[in-house]
Amino acid sequence: MLADIARFAVTARRVVERGHERFTDPDDDDQRRIARSVLIDLSAAADRLPASFRRAHPDVDWRGIRAVRNFIAHDYDGTDEEVLWQAIVQFPAIVAALLPG
């Protein structure tokens, strides 16, 4: 699961590096769709981590990860772009807390 999370982080980083302007481009929703997918995948991988691992990392907002996934998965195109952007921008901090440096 950690290898999957690290791979998702690479994709998230590319979305962020492409910038906010491209992310919010009204004529191209590719970056928003990628962000949605990555955040849903992160939540699924985090849910599969052993409970003992999650307890060992109390600095990670596990409930928040699940909440973002549920928000995105159930609101589809109604998801606020800025909420989505903030979630994808914060992805590296989550990964840093999970993976050995």
Is pTM beyond 0.75? Reply is yes
Count the alpha carbons within 13 Å of 67 in the hemisphere toward its beta carbon.
Answer: 6
Structure confidence by residue, pLDDT tens digits, 47-94: 999 999 999 999 888 888 888 888 887 775 667 888 889 999 988 787
Structure confidence by residue, pLDDT tens digits, 2-50: 889 889 999 999 999 999 999 999 999 999 999 999 999 988 998 999 9
d(CA 73, CA 42): 13
| C-alpha distances in Å from residue 18, one per residue of 13, 14, 32, 68, 91 | 9, 6, 12, 22, 15
